[in-house]
Amino acid sequence: MSIVLFGPPGAGKGTQSERMVKEGKKTHISTGDLFRAAMKNKTPLGIEAKGYVDNGQLVPDSITIGLVREVLDANKEGDFIFDGFPRTSPQAEALEELISEMGVSPIQHALFLEVPKQVLMERLTGRRLCKDCGAVYHVKSAPTAKEGICDRCGGETYQRKDDSEDVIATRLEAYAKSTEPLKEYYQQKGLYIEIDGLGDTDSVFSRIKPYL
Ligand code: ADP
Ligand code: ADP
Ligand code: ZN
């Protein structure tokens, strides 16, 4: 069965997804990663998404849902981890439709990663990414062995444009307005599970593991 992983920006969704993929043999779909890849390759989707992503706004539902439909169309087999999708109620409804229409493995749990705002700020401002392979680091909690160089592939690391304090503020507002209501949406569906996102990545993963 598939899993929805949601929570505020910087909660650790990407980090935990990577662990979940290793453990559970599920396919990872991160709309954030897909938008960044499209932006890097300057595809029509990337050019369209860039203004929203760089300014910390949600990409419109029609574009985001279209993207997920395309990805699922290319591979609907097996179970999925939906990371950072859905982020709005219309996206949540569209995901259910896509699942039934396309015969995709249904959602077993909607795991919500709970992290207080002050910690989110620290996680987001210290986040670094590899330009080449997308690996995620943190200047304090998960530094690269050699400063600025990816441990995994030797690529250069960089700071996301939207990880600056002012853009983070916009993202947190978008989260509160559009994504937080999904808690109630999934509670009503009986799928909601809250995971304490504080502590090191191993401790957080040990709380997720029973649901894989
Ligand atoms: P999200 O995908 O939810 O935005 P990430 O997985 O990218 O979050 O994590 C945000 C930042 O916080 C990254 O720099 C990551 O290395 C760091 N991080 C993730 N989980 C933890 C944790 N449990 N403790 C400390 N830092 C963490
Ligand atoms: P975060 O660290 O905030 O969880 P992501 O990498 O998941 O970041 O997303 C980065 C940006 O990509 C978002 O701020 C938004 O502009 C866009 N994005 C990602 N997923 C979605 C989505 N499901 N709906 C709309 N916009 C999205
Ligand atoms: Zn790398």
Res 72: pLDDT = 97
Instruction: Please name the amino acid found at residue 130.
Output: C
Closest CA to 58 of 91, 28, 29, 26: 91
**Residue numbers of the chain with a pLDDT score lower than 50:** none
Domains of the chain by start residue, with CATH: 2-116+172-211 (3.40.50.300)
Q: What share of residues in the chain are helix, strand, coil (percent, to 5)? A: 50, 20, 30
Distance 82 CA to ligand 2 centre (A): 12
Q: Which ligand is nearest to the CA of 155?
A: 3
Res 122: pLDDT = 96
Find the residues whose C-beta lies inside 6 A of ligand 1: 9-15, 123, 126-127, 136-138, 141-142, 200-201, 204
Res 25: pLDDT = 87
| Cα torsion through 66, 71, 77, 83, rounded to 10 | -90
Global model pTM greater than 0.85 = yes
Res 208: pLDDT = 98
Measured distance CA(127)–CA(162) in Å, rounded: 11
The ligand 1 atom at the shortest distance from the C-alpha of residue 201 is 23
How does pLDDT run across 28-59, given as a tens digit for each residue?
999 999 999 999 999 999 999 999 999 999 99
Res 24: pLDDT = 80
Residues catalogued as catalytic: 13, 87, 127, 160, 171
Instruction: Please name the amino acid found at residue 169.
Output: A
